[in-house]
Amino acid sequence: MADSPRHPFLHGLSKHRGAPPTVVVIFGASGDLTARKLIPAVYNLSHDNLLPADFFLVGYGRKPIPDEEFRTLAAAAIKEFSRREPDAGVWDRIAAHTSYVAGGYDERAAFDRLAAHIDAIEKRLGREVQRLFYISTPPSVFAPIVLNLGASGLAAKHPGRPHHSKVIIEKPFGRDLASARALNETIRSVFAEHQVFRIDHYLGKETVQDLLVQRFANAIFEPLWNRNFIDSVQITVAEEAGVGSRGGYYEQSGCLRDMIQNHMMQLVALTAMEPPVSLEAEAVRDEKVKVLKAISPLTIGPEGNVARAQYAGGMIGGKTVKGYVDEEGIAAQSATETYAAIRLSINNWRWQGVPFYLRSGKRMARRVSEIAINFKCPPGTLFAEGGRFDLAANTLSFQIQPDEGLSLILNTKIPGLETRTQPVKMSFRYATTFGSNTPEAYERLVLDAMIGDGTLFIRGDEAETSWKLYTPVLDYWRSVGREGLDTYAAGSWGPASSDALLAKRNHAWRQP
């Protein structure tokens, strides 16, 4: 049967980026991330003919699972979580090369068995294969896994052979600056930097990637992308959900570690970076690091630029929900923040004096992630008559989730005999323009790692620079306990202290 015609907006896009013969080993293969994201990502890459012909998937975990059972679990994950309906022919190609190895993460003998398993695959093929290790486990075993990969000979530094062995490491990458540095040292003892892919799935989202295209491929935006025309930038990552069954994890994490230090700082870097000299990975990552290094240290206290809070009971979707301290596994006197707001100042030529406001929280009014660029208001001399003109600041917003796209707020004349104005929104949505079956972030990131493109991954010095900014805040909060910890009702947009943070500069949070 002939291929169905491609959507006209997709004309000219590459249908294939070649990867060498590859074995992908997933550590933590029985975990939730593997089922929800990684297995469906592999399936959809195969569906799009983006996997190499010689592709092998190996699950690794503590729990002994026969190969056939692992394949059954993988097929069930595809049926439940894939963006496409399962295709038997596509799955059969993957299943034929899918296997499982059981062992502890600190068990050297198990890694030797894994090495023998991959050696057998190479012997059967008659050539070497690329080895891509995906560490999707609790952070406590990141270092043992990396060290055992080195000790068993499964991985080694290969400066001249970038396709031989690589490692993808899930977040959180450290808990503070010291732990991030220690983890980087461990990784660099086994892998060269170009073999390391520190993943942040936000960077795989279409709207985040489109941010650079909008900035640097449109002449109407780049000349305005500076302190002369932009009044402020607001970045929001809000969730309706509470901590649910993840209370034990969240108590050790909190909003600052879970969202702001990683996801949101990546959004800041892409929004504020200078044009790179090319789209090569190192050129892009160099500019991101420069932005992070230009951010002023954060101050804490009544006149500071940080606010934190916990959600109290409230209403979500018409239903009463618990407060954070009433959730399962949460201590009554917990000082863990479920909401944080930050005002960042970037001390460089482009952004001097432009505040970057970040907020993230659980149990908020609705689930939304967006970047809003608020331009300065035009002079009011022409449209200054009270009541007749409703002028709003022009705002360009990038919606990252749940409905990917972008919108621009403009002022326009209301039809009629009088000259009256009103703000209107012009919107673009990926689903309506390109079709709703947009590739998931993990598909792009797994493919990029296979072909060795590190553009959408975090470099080691980038992770450390971000931790350097936030570790003093975490240390201070730990020292004062619940002092200064605000509350907000579940179903609201956050605490009063967050609003006050913006009011100091005569700003207010926009409603996404």
The residues carrying an active-site annotation are 263
Residue 306: strand pairing partners: 342
CA dihedral 40, 44, 50, 52 (to 10 degrees): 50
Cβ within 8 Å of residue 251, ≥6 positions away = 329, 330, 331, 334, 336
Rounded Cα distance between 338 and 222, Å, is: 35
- Nearest Cα neighbor of 201 from 259, 275, 245 is 259
**Coil, strand or helix at 402:** coil
Query: 10 Å Cβ neighbour count for 140?
Result: 8
**Coil, strand or helix at 194:** helix
Could you tell me the CA-to-CA distances from 510 to 156, 178, 359, 371 in Å, in that order? 49, 36, 11, 11
Phi-psi category of 486—alpha, beta or left, where left has phi over 0 and alpha has psi -120 to 50?
beta
**Is the bond preceding residue 402 a cis peptide, omega within 30 degrees?**
yes
Q: Which two structure tokens, joined as six digits, stand for 455?
A: 């553009």
Beta-sheet strand order (sheet of 22-27):
98-102, 55-61, 22-27, 130-135, 165-169, 196-198
Rounded Cα distance between 187 and 168, Å, is: 11
Q: Which two structure tokens, joined as six digits, stand for 428?
A: 């673009």
Residues 60, 38 contacting (CB under 8 angstroms): no
- Nearest Cα neighbor of 483 from 493, 470, 471, 497 is 497
Cβ within 8 Å of residue 72, ≥6 positions away = none
Half-sphere exposure of 172 (CA within 13 A, CB side): 21
